[in-house]
Chain A
């Protein structure tokens, strides 16, 4: 339950943070999320990568650009406004004509190579799915933790089209001893000693029908910055596994090692109400991040927005790890009572689910809290579940509208 004291504390903290955040955001010309580290405001700018619209630039190299809040007013995120996230700075422009994916590993009986044309000749499947960075909202962690200090916009939802990973693995003769499937992309480190970004998923997740090697995003080839010519799509799971520019797929009978599997991208065991487990990588204290926690975002208004007294339509998006959103609850009295928002178009269980709620704004301050609930009955958390990497932030928003 949310206590009165908790709510007061949250509101006070938000107001203080909002002031700092807005001052810096104005200086930078970027709509930063209140609560991110103040230093970000001195370097964040609205800038366009080639082929993209201006996004909030957090870092040039490796490029990390987040989508402004307004981008999330539609359940499909346009390709040229989709966030960009890289770990390593050597990012080649991949030539589709010479592009090949090597599929092998000790868990494959008959390693193969696939060109883009080969991939497109396989049966094509589509899924509308949210791609959210594990560290989305890291900038809002309290206390702050180091990393890319994302606000709300390290995510997007697209219609992905491609071949099933399982069909490709079948062609390579997947052995029954396989426990993980690992991916490497064409991008690499600036210096040789930096560990290459290699990620694996459990074989059961790799052979799910929805797991794709995607070559289309919203009916177009993938943008360079989102993984052209093909990337792995792991609906429900955080973006770390969605390997861009994928060039190597290895079926493995032993766990994938390396910095990016351990210690990176891990959450403390038992801290989050997750169902999907990655058992071959678990240890006594930490486990790889898996599916996204249920979450929502108010996209119609920013915190502190001015509105006219009377009817105000508040709306946004809700999503989870692929169980599907069952309801979105809104409170205008600080969490004492909740009412169901109206759910919008259902684009599938992995997609953004639009929601809207009409409230009556009185003169002065009006608060709006939102809590999404999924079909497992999981809901958002009233208080941050702190973890060292700042993952899985699904704290219920509590914004103020000024009428």
Chain B
């Protein structure tokens, strides 16, 4: 339910913020569904490749934690873990 809600929010806010936002295609790999369902509620997905591939595993963990703790992203533990693993495997060093 939460995932659905966030995706719905993402769909709603995408329009007024930047009318011609094009989809950003990330690498197809396990966990991508969690990234798409959670991260783009607050920001477009280009943020991820932009910050790559330099982050090591610890840095990607810290970034996911920052999104939850500092920015208040409503991501549950299981999704947070899946997102971090996806980022480390596909956009890490």
Contact = CB atoms under 8 A, between A and B. Distances in A.
Nearest to B21: A60
Contacts of B43: 59, 61-62, 89, 190
Which secondary structure characterizes the binding site on chain A? loop
B47 to A, nearest CB: 5
B17 A149 contact: no
A191 B18 contact: no
Interface in B18-34: 18-22, 24
Interface stretch (A34-42, A303-311, A345-353, A364-372): A34-42
A143 B59 CA distance: 13
Query: What is the predominant secondary structure among interface residues of chain B facing chain A?
Result: loop
A147 B17 contact: no
B90 to A, nearest CB: 10
A192 interface: yes
B46 A59 contact: yes
B52 to A, nearest CB: 3
B42 A189 contact: yes
A49 B70 CA distance: 29
B91 interface: yes
Interface residues of A, number: 36
B13 A43 contact: no
Contact of A39 (B9, B44, B50, B63): B50
A63 interface: yes
Interface of B: 9, 13-14, 16-22, 24, 40-44, 46-55, 59, 63, 70-74, 91
Interface of A: 37-40, 42-44, 47, 49-50, 57-63, 89-93, 143-144, 146-149, 189-195, 259
Given A93-B16, A190-B43, 11 more contacts: A39-B52, A59-B44, A60-B46, A61-B13, A61-B14, A89-B13, A146-B55, A146-B63, A190-B41, A192-B72, A193-B72
